[in-house]
Amino acid sequence: MIIRDFISEYRNDIRNNLIDLMPDLPDNIGWSTYFDKLNGFSILPGESINLLEFRPDIENNTETEYRDKIRKVLSEIKVTLKYSDIYDRLMPANRKDLSWFGRQNK
């Protein structure tokens, strides 16, 4: 799978990744993983990638508060993935909303 176009939509903001839509983290807190450029990225059959990962210290109230803010934003995002196979044949676009991230928000 070769990613041809990754589109994330949050309210009226449209980006080519997820990280640009996330709330700013305090200086002492960082992302575990994120991709800011996905177009042209390849994923092998049976493999997967984490587009965005935040691993909060659950004993740290500031980090768990930001985890909840991140989940809230993610729950309102819709993503569209356009991709091709290795022979450059375009596959049907895949569109998903990420509302399931809101399942643990209070």
pLDDT digits (tens, 9 = 90+) for 21-68: 999 998 889 999 999 999 999 999 999 999 999 999 999 999 999 999
- Residue 95: in which H helix or E strand, if any? strand 94-97
Domain count, the chain: 1
Q: Which two tokens stand for residue 85?
A: 């196979």
Which residue bears the tokens 């994120």?
Answer: 34
Reported as a pLDDT band with limits 50, 70 and 90, residue 99 is: very high
- Average pLDDT over the chain reads 94
Reported as a pLDDT band with limits 50, 70 and 90, residue 105 is: low
Other Cβ atoms less than 10 A from the Cβ of 54: the count is 19
Longest dimension (CA), the chain: 49
Round to whole Å and give the CA distance between 45 and 1: 7
Domain that holds residue 68: 2-42+50-104
